[in-house]
Every structure is written in C-alpha cells, then in structure tokens.
Structure 1
Amino acid sequence: MTANLIKQTHFDAIIIGGGACGLMCAVQAGFLGKRTLILEKTEKPGAKILISGGGRCNYTNMYATDMQFISANPHFCKSAFSQWSVEDTVIFFETYGIEGKEKTLGQLFPVSDSAKDIVNLFTGLCRELEQEIWCNAEVKAIDQVMGGFAITFERDGREETLHTPKVVIASGGLPIAKMGATDFGLRTARKLGLRVTETAPALVPLTITGKDQEWYEQLSGNSIFCRVSNDQISFEENILFTHWGLSGPAILQISSYWRPGQWIELDMLPHQNVLELIEAERLQNGKRPLGGLLASLYTRKFAEALAKYLPIEKNLATLNKQDMENINNLIHHFKVKPAGDKGYDKAEVMRGGVSTDELSSKTLESKKIPGLYFGGECVDVTGWLGGYNFQWAWASGFVIAQGI
C-alpha cells in the first residue's frame, strides 16, 4: 500500500461498526465537537439493537454493577461504569424522549416497546451532529501508517482507503452471522499484535444428546421456574425444555459460566420443600397419588414425565424413606450434563475477546498502539442477560468518545 492511494479525511476518528457502542461513541463525540465516520457492514445501523428483547430492546438494567460481568479481569469495567452509569443511560434516553419501564429483575425497556425508537434516536442525533454513517461498507484492513491508520473498505463494489488519526473498533462479536457478525475485531487485534482472550458463545441454549435426549424432546415447550446452579453461581428464573435440550433465561445465564464436560444442577422447586409439601398433604389426603401432587406444582405433562424417575402412581401415604430421598434429590438436585451449546447463531453474546490487559481501563485505548480503541462486545467484558451488555456498550462508547 502506498501513501498516495490513501485519501485524507476531515474526520477525527473512524468507527468500525454501527451497533450500540459505535452509535453511542459517534453521538458523544459529536457533543464534544468532534467529527466521526461510522463504517457499517450491513444495510442499516443498529441491526442487533433492532432484534434485541424480541424487538423491544432491553436497553439497560437498573441494578447493573461490575459484579454482573465476566472477564479475565473482573475489575476492568469499573472505570467505564464510573464514567457512564445506569443513571446516565436513563437520563440520556429520557432527555431525547425515550421513557423506560422496568420489567423483571431490573430490565428496562422503552415504554413504546419498540427497539426502532432507540435506533432512530441515534441516527437522528448523528444527522444533527454531522456524524456520518456509511452503510454497506465492509472494512477489509486496518494498517498503521504515518500519522494514524489506513482503513481499506469496500462500498458499492468499489474499494477505497481512508486515512484517520484514530480508529475505534466496535464491530461486535461472533453471534448471529446473519446480522453481520464477524471476527473482524479479533482478527485485527491479533494482526496488530494484541492478545485475545479465548472466545465462546455466551447466553446460549444448551444441548442434550444420548440416552436422555428423548426425555427432553417429549417435554419441548414446557417451562418451569428453577434455581440453576454450578459450583460458581446460581440463577433463579424460568427454564424451557426444547427438542434439543434446555433454554430459557436461567439456562442462558448459567451458560456463560458453563464449560463442556461440566454438570449443572436444577432446583425445580426453589422456594418450597417438596418433602414438607408431601408430609402436609399426607395429613389431609394420604391416598392422593404422588403424580397428583406433582401435577399441582407443574404442568401435567411434566408431572407425568417424572414417571421415568419417580413412583408417581404411589399414594403419598405409602412412600418409603428411599422414595422420599429420591423425590428430594430429583426435585431439588436434578443433575444435567449438557453435551454442548447451540453455537453463535443462537447465542446472545460472545464470551472473551480482546484482552483487557491490552487496553487502558480508563480510555479503552490500546496500550501498545496509540489512537486505536476497542469497545463493546469485541472486548473481553461479557454481561448477564437482561440489559447488562447494552450498558457496557453505552459506557464503552461514551468513554472512547472522550479520547478520540
């Protein structure tokens, strides 16, 4: 590549990726009087925002702190969150007409239930602040050159190279390739000599194969409130049986902490004691079958499926000590060894990414390469399900904007 092929631009920075982090970065830079250009691979910006929360966009979580994020350095995100808090997110959206409503476990959605309102807010602000967004612009390479970087990209069938003093990589992670996800950020980091923490699908359904698969298949569509745990953490939310295994909020949450070969445990009656319920019912109606009691706690289909493990035809009065032990273990300590996960196409986010050791926690700038910034999902900071990853995207976009 020769210098005369590189077109000089008047932008203070070029942002790779028009998702949550990239859009916030452009807007915040605009507030500071800086000009940015977003290069977005797909036809429209904010593609992943539009599908999040079933098209409603759970844009933050009222209870978000650094404690709900997974990273090789769990303290890394503290600085960004001290600069851009949940309160800042709420005020920002309210200022521009998007009121929030809190749903389960602190999840905040627009009152309109429309993710389009979020995207329209950012694209509108970009227009007002003269921040440019070029769509269908696929970046091919980022090279270090005198005075900054050369960004080579293809747009409308033509290849072009622009010079920029600073570049922001906010190109997301690997999940949902059909929405434009690629490993561009990770490849670029490695090419430029930065370390990348091992990546894997996160917030993803888990699969069951082998002799137990048929049992899960027959329960497809059944949902149960559970406490799902491993030796690290536990989550209390619904699980969903599917024809290939387990999904639902609690499973997605635990998946971020699960590794192949490990077990997880389900407490399928987390706020009650099944043995106490049996004893109480025995006093009232000892002739009632165990299956009848279970059917009052779960769906009838699920209660009947437990016949594989429990004597559901037995009357409560005739249950012996071994029966009671088996019931307790099954209901409160149901062991599951997933075969794997459903992969990036079904994952909400990617775990791992550009190593936090390579970046300043205060600015998200590369320690080795001045002027190079990484934000959002391509960094090794992964939040829980429920608006946490958006909070990281907004915070990292804001932080980067201060430095470009």
Structure 2
Amino acid sequence: MEADAIIIGAGACGLMCAVQAGYLGKRVILLEKSDKPGAKILISGGGRCNYTNLFASDEQFISNNKHFLKSAFTQWTVEDTISFFETYGIQGKEKTLGQLFPDGKNAKDIVGVFTELCHDFGQQIICDAAVTDIEQTADGFSVSFDKGSKSRTLKAPKLVIATGGLPIPKMGATDFALRFARKHGLNIIETAPALVPLTITGKDEDWYAALSGNSVFCEVSNDQISFEENILFTHWGLSGPAILQISSYWRRGESINIDLLPRQSVVDLIEEERKHNGKLLLSTLLNRYYPKKFTDALGKFLPLEKQVAALTKVELETIQQTIHFFKVKPAGDKGYDKAEVMRGGIDTKELSSKTLECKSIPGLYFGGECVDVTGWLGGYNFQWAWANGYVIAQNI
C-alpha cells in the first residue's frame, strides 16, 4: 500500500481532507486532473475567495435530505474554519451578509495554506493526473491514472472521491464522481446548474439587453423563497447575487417575482409627495431610487412624464404592480459554463452522514460538490467542503 488513502480531486474538500489526515499522522496521495491544486478556489470571488459564511447552517442548503448536513457541521463548525485559517495567517474580513474574505490576502493565499501543509506533512499532490480506472481489491482500492505519456497504479485501503461537480468545464470539471457512482449502482439526484445567471428571450429580450450593466437592489422571490440583494441586467438576461440565489430554486417554465423597491411602498411615496409637491414628475421621483437609464426603461410600462398629483387610480395600480410585482419568466439559464455550483448529485441516502462513507462500498468516501448538497452564494459551499474534508479525514 502506497498510502493510507488516495484522494481523487485536489479541490477544497480534497485539500482539507489531506491536511486533516496529516494532523492525524495518516499519509495520503492526492490525484488532481488539472495542472495545479485548488483551481476552483483560485477563481472564487474573483480571486478574493469568500471562504466561509458567519451564518452557515443547514438552513442555507438545498438537498433532498437537509438533515444530512447536521453531523458534518457539528463536527466542523464555522468557528473551526475561522480558527484554522487564522492559525496560518488568514484573518477574515466580513463583507456583506456574513461573507468572510481573507483580509489583505486572496485565494492564492488560501490554496497556499493547504499546499504548504501538505508539503510539511509529506502528503503527495500529483497534478495532471487523469484517472483511468478504479478497482476494488480484497484489501482496498487500486487506482490507475495517466500522467503525460506514462501510466501508473496506486493502491490504498481507503479511497476518497472529491472531484467536484459539472460547473466550469474549462476549469477541468467533469462528471467523474457521478459516472463512478452510477457504475456502482448508487442513486443520483437529478443534477442542474445552480447559482447561475438566467436568460431572457422573446419579445422582452431587447428591453433587458438595453439595460445591460445596470444594477438594482431588489427582492427576488418565487413560491419557495425570497432574497434581497442586487440584480444585474445583462445583454442576455439577468444576473447579480439575487438572481444567482433564486436560480438554485428555479425550474424551467416557472416565473419569478421581482420587487424593485423592497421595504417601501411606491404608492405611499407618491401619496406623500402629492402633499408637498404634486407637480413632481413620476420620473423625477423614481430617479431617487434607480439609475436614470433604468427609470427611463420603466417608461415602457409607466407614465413617467406625468405629475404625481395627476396620476389616476388605475395608473397607481399599474405603478404598484410594476414596481412591486415585476414578473419575469426566464427562458433558461447560462448553463454549467457560468454556474457557480451544481444542484443535485450523489444521493445522501447512499452515504453515512457521520463519516461520508459509502454504505454499499466500505472504504469509499464521497465529499464536496458531487454530493446532493448545494449551498447559497456567499461562502456556504466552501464551508460544506471544509467540513467534508475534516469528517472524511477522521475516518480514512
């Protein structure tokens, strides 16, 4: 046996698993398909890396079994993540909504913590390693892989598959974990892009495209959930934090509602203005809350050049509906190329929530994005990956 465990995938989960195994005196070998470890970490948050969220709990995750997360999050908490990185010189700085970024550092520093610790612990990271075959043996697993023109086989009693999901194929994302799971009869919860921009086509396409680059603070909702953050208009539809969040809960054919002025009533604002300055144009009032280009675009629906005192009851109703109940029916999404994460994955019923070991294949563990656990935007998915890596390391 070359090691105590072989880890396929040197992403967030795999790297944390290797380091935590090192603390316990266990030797692991990481096989990474890309030319460097932590490729997806390096591009996260525009290279700044939102590495956890102060409010992370099972409430911010989508899964067929949300209770599955509780054991991992009890074993490795947000406080554990913060303490871990602080130990190695990464101080957290909160941005918005509990999002924690490295203060004065970036994603390279996050990856650097892991690669340096792997070096210190003697954990081997083999990059450009394309796994070609996995065989279950009497005493563990045999993993064959190609590196350049050479083929090699490693053996270990435990195997960890932490190869991520389908988003961002150009970064090396593959369906490796899903294919392996299906081959061995494990159930897969239907997968789809999540935290992904939504597209608009048809008669309204040009209206959205003309607003490209404009950002507006909104409440975006559907029958399941709502999010208050910015939306961003693009030449192909809608993006921005609020749209990415709702996309994880959206299904093709459904509509979403956008409240363009959350926490306020546009009709109340108009009525208040009528008392003091009835000659004020509706456009002037709305310009207080929106970029002028966006206000102008609302002219397709609203009587912008009318004085607030002259607005009729029917017009007030139209304004109310347009501002607070702006309905959008996306045509689709931008797919895995633009998705932050994957929804769905290996059914949690196939795994032990306490160890993440596969129930039907002893010694095999799945962690990270390939499992049917999908977090919100804002560091939640990293917290899940770190917790997975820690839990698996305790059991390999």
TM-score band (shorter)? over 0.9
Tell me the equivalent position of 1:51. Answer: 43
1:124 aligns with 2:116: yes
Tell me the equivalent position of 1:27. Answer: 19
Structure 1 stretches of 4+ moved >6 Å? none
Deviation of the 1:126 alpha carbon: 0.2
The 2-side partners of 1:151 and 1:38 are apart by 11
Tell me the equivalent position of 2:75. Answer: 83
Q: Is the 8 A contact 1:174 1:181 kept in 2?
A: yes
Tell me the equivalent position of 1:39. Answer: 31
1:331 aligns with 2:323: yes
Amino acid paired to 2:119: R
Q: Is the 8 A contact 2:54 2:78 kept in 1?
A: yes
The 1-side partners of 2:97 and 2:266 are apart by 26
Deviation of the 1:142 alpha carbon: 1.6
Tell me the equivalent position of 1:3. Answer: none
Q: Report Cα offsets for 1:299-347 as digits up to 9, x if no partner.
A: 1111110111111111111100110001001101100000000000100
Q: Report Cα offsets for 1:161-200 as digits up to 9, x if no partner.
A: 2222110000000001111100001001111111111000
The 1-side partners of 2:149 and 2:253 are apart by 46
The 2-side partners of 1:386 and 1:16 are apart by 26
Q: SS at the partner of 1:172? A: coil
Q: Is the 8 A contact 1:168 1:372 kept in 2?
A: yes
The 2-side partners of 1:90 and 1:288 are apart by 52
Q: Is the 8 A contact 1:359 1:366 kept in 2?
A: yes
Amino acid paired to 1:75: H
The 2-side partners of 1:82 and 1:254 are apart by 27
Identity %: 70
Tell me the equivalent position of 2:135. Answer: 143
1:212 aligns with 2:201: no
Tell me the equivalent position of 1:4. Answer: none
Q: Report Cα offsets for 1:52-106 as digits up to 9, x if no partner.
A: 0110000000000010010010110000000000000000001111111111000
Q: Report Cα offsets for 1:106-137 as digits up to 9, x if no partner.
A: 00000124111100100000000011000000
Amino acid paired to 1:120: G
Q: Is the 8 A contact 2:189 2:346 kept in 1?
A: yes
Tell me the equivalent position of 1:247. Answer: 239
Q: How many residues align?
A: 396
1:12 aligns with 2:1: no
Tell me the equivalent position of 2:151. Answer: 159
Q: Is the 8 A contact 1:38 1:134 kept in 2?
A: yes
Amino acid paired to 1:311: P
The 2-side partners of 1:120 and 1:157 are apart by 29
Tell me the equivalent position of 2:310. Answer: 318
The 1-side partners of 2:213 and 2:274 are apart by 31
Aligned runs of 1:278-357 on 2, under 5 Å? 278-357=270-349
Deviation of the 1:156 alpha carbon: 1.8
Q: Report Cα offsets for 1:249-290 as digits up to 9, x if no partner.
A: 000000000000011000010021100110111122111211
Match among 238, 245, 255 for residue 230 of structure 2: 238
Match among 114, 128, 131 for residue 106 of structure 2: 114
Amino acid paired to 1:26: A
The 1-side partners of 2:175 and 2:203 are apart by 36
TM-score between both structures, scaled by the size of structure 1: 0.97
1:168 aligns with 2:176: no
Q: Report Cα offsets for 1:353-401 as digits up to 9, x if no partner.
A: 1110100000000000000000000000000000000000000000000
Deviation of the 1:141 alpha carbon: 2.1
The 2-side partners of 1:113 and 1:279 are apart by 49
TM-score between both structures, scaled by the size of structure 2: 0.99
Match among 178, 185, 192 for residue 184 of structure 2: 192
1:102 aligns with 2:94: yes
Amino acid paired to 1:373: Y
Deviation of the 1:144 alpha carbon: 1.4
The 1-side partners of 2:104 and 2:170 are apart by 26
Match among 52, 65, 74 for residue 60 of structure 1: 52
Match among 387, 397, 404 for residue 379 of structure 2: 387
The 2-side partners of 1:11 and 1:144 are apart by 15
Range 147-156 or range 316-325, more displaced: 147-156
Q: Is the 8 A contact 2:197 2:333 kept in 1?
A: yes
Tell me the equivalent position of 1:257. Answer: 249
Q: SS at the partner of 1:228? A: strand
Q: Is the 8 A contact 2:214 2:294 kept in 1?
A: yes
Deviation of the 1:150 alpha carbon: 1.6
Amino acid paired to 1:20: A
The 1-side partners of 2:104 and 2:68 are apart by 34
Mark the runs of 5 or more structure 2 residues left unpaired by the alignment: none
Q: Is the 8 A contact 1:57 1:113 kept in 2?
A: no
Match among 342, 351, 355 for residue 359 of structure 1: 351
Deviation of the 1:10 alpha carbon: 2.5
